[in-house]
Amino acid sequence: MAPGGKAKRVRIYTSEGDLVGRTPTYLAIVQFLQRENAAGATVLRAVEGFGSAGVLHTAHLVDVLQRLPLVVEWVDSADRVERLLPHIKEMVVRGLITLEDIEIVLDVPHPVRAVSGHVTAGEVMSRNVVSVAPDTPLRRVIEVMLGKLQRAVPVVEDGRPVGLITNSDLVERGGLGVRIELLPSLEADNLQAELNRLGSNPKTARDIMTGSPVTVPASTPLTLVADLMARRRLKRFPVVDDAGRLVGMISRLDLLRTVAAHYERGEAEQATIGLNAEVPISRVMRRDVPTVHPETPVGEVLPAVFSTRLNRAVVVDHERRVVGIVTDAELLERVTPSLRPGALRSLMQRLPFVHASAEDLATEQHARARTAQELMSAHVPIAKADTPLGQALAPMLRGKEKLIAVVDAADRLVGIVDRADILRGLVE
């Protein structure tokens, strides 16, 4: 994590006597974070303290079985905390967890841990993966994806993956009216109505899954994983052991995080990845960037956002300098509720946005956001055209954006790259 950057600090208050199964809770948490390639965690042992029960615990030399308070302190990027914290919460039966924003003022890592000659899928995959059985009802599949922040769910039979359910499967074969990550943008009543509608659908995971998924053994070098992702245009693979049983999932994001971390550690570490992170970003950028100006009205912002698979529009001033970005999720959250059904239809079906009625036109005048400037986020990852891919990755991964705006020497927008573009550049 770079100095001056934003991060999250998580503190987990537990005690020496708390267990996850037969493993001390603090140890289970640290081992989980290590497996998931977290930035780092520290266990702090108290000399005295009490919790909500009011019992005072004190360290004495004569103590044989101590139950002293412990604090696991974990500092990491916001996206990794968002992904891993729900699993941590499931481990803590008794205790307290706090979360706060912090700023990194110094980050001088110790020499990197020993790794094999080539980093493998098993070293960077996510291990705590929720799967479903083939006969799992459709509504339950959606609830799993909503609750676990997973963008794909493996379908497992006898421990082996027989299918994979993605956003596309839910929309095309499951009848879901909107991508899973946009469901929270719906009003509570509309969300419940959508879930109830799907609950009456008799389809199961087997009916909607993509069968015979592409899998990779845990021992597969990252170079081969990246090449397979780029050629197949896939975002993630189930990872299996030698017997074909599911042991994790590796996503494009896992791969890019690993490349960025190894790039920051120097040339020797880059060699273990085997991917070309020195490629200039201009080589893979696309120039057909949907743009709007800060004063562009919401009615014109909508078609710009929905015009490409990026589901985003870059906000530029009249000299093409980047000032912000409008995403589909932010747009749906900030437009007035009466406009959301039409906006959702346009987004999912790639149709021009039209107002359903004169009433909608009148309602728009009272929308919470009426221009691009009121809709946009100002936090846009930006890189010069000659920036190496490995260097450009870090600011993108620290934030929530899935793309990088590419600018020339005068800071004028010349192109854009997303995760798929970067992966292509790394393997070419």
Domains of the chain: 6-103 (3.30.70.120), 121-273 (3.10.580.10), 282-335+369-427 (3.10.580.10)
Confidence of residue 303 (pLDDT cuts 50, 70, 90): confident
Model pLDDT, residue 350: 44
Confidence of residue 395 (pLDDT cuts 50, 70, 90): confident
Confidence of residue 188 (pLDDT cuts 50, 70, 90): low
HEC string of the chain equals CCCCCEEEEEEEEEECCCEECCEEHHHHHHHHHHHCCCCCEEEEECCEEECCCCCEEECCCCCCCCCCEEEEEEEECHHHHHHHHHHHHHHCCCCEEEEEEEECCCCCCCCCCCCCCCCEHHHHCECCCCCECCCCEHHHHHHHHHHHCCCEEEEEECCEEEEEEEHHHHHHCCCCCCCHHHHHHCCHHHHHHHHHHHHCCCCEHHHHCEECCCCEECCCEHHHHHHHHHHHCCCEEEEECCCCCEEEEEEHHHHHHHHHHHHHHCHHHHHHHCCCCCCEHHHCCECCCCEECCCCEHHHHHHHHHCCCCCEEEEECCCCEEEEEEEHHHHHHHCCHHHHHHHHHHHHHCCCCCCCCHHHHHHHCCCCCCEHHHHCECCCCEEECCCEHHHHHHHHHHCCCCEEEEECCCCEEEEEEEHHHHHHHHHC
**Mean per-residue pLDDT over the chain, rounded:** 80
pLDDT tens digit string along 239-286? Answer: 999 899 999 999 998 898 888 887 877 655 555 566 788 889 999 999
Confidence of residue 356 (pLDDT cuts 50, 70, 90): very low
pTM over 0.85: no
Confidence of residue 147 (pLDDT cuts 50, 70, 90): low
Model pLDDT, residue 257: 87
Average pLDDT over residues 364-387: 79
Average pLDDT over residues 85-98: 91
Model pLDDT, residue 273: 65
Model pLDDT, residue 48: 67
Model pLDDT, residue 319: 95
pLDDT exceeds 60 at position 96 = yes
Q: What share of the chain has pLDDT > 70, as a percent?
A: 76
Range in 6-10, 348-352, 376-380 with the lowest mean pLDDT: 348-352
Confidence of residue 142 (pLDDT cuts 50, 70, 90): confident
pLDDT exceeds 90 at position 307 = no
pLDDT exceeds 60 at position 141 = yes
Model pLDDT, residue 40: 83
